[in-house]
Structure 1
Amino acid sequence: MASSDSLKAFMVDNGITDWTPPQDLVYHYDCVAHAEQLKAKPWQDDPNYFTQVRVSAMALVKM
């Protein structure tokens, strides 16, 4: 407990805030946006729609 209190005090004293890096926003799930994408089906019109793929390390091991 004392270490977490001292960390909080250090963060307040030095103006440090929690920040989510932009690369972590890839994993944020938006239900409404996902439903809209499924309805629009842009991959049917554009064969090059999917240009990048992210594969987790665990999925890569299972492949």
Structure 2
Amino acid sequence: REGEKSLSHLWFDFHEQRLSAAENVPIDDALRARVRREFPVPKEFDFRMESDESALSG
């Protein structure tokens, strides 16, 4: 569904948890930014209406 964000949130949460456990680091703003940079949501699964940049700033 257009505008749906739950799949994107699940995608980022999965990678945050995975990296946090693998690297023994806390899930903080730096890790969240890294995940969004290194693991973008594949286009076929990205139904958000705004880009990551606008979502992160507001």
Q: TM-score, normalised by structure 1?
A: 0.26
Q: TM-score, normalised by structure 2?
A: 0.27
> Which has more radius of gyration?
1
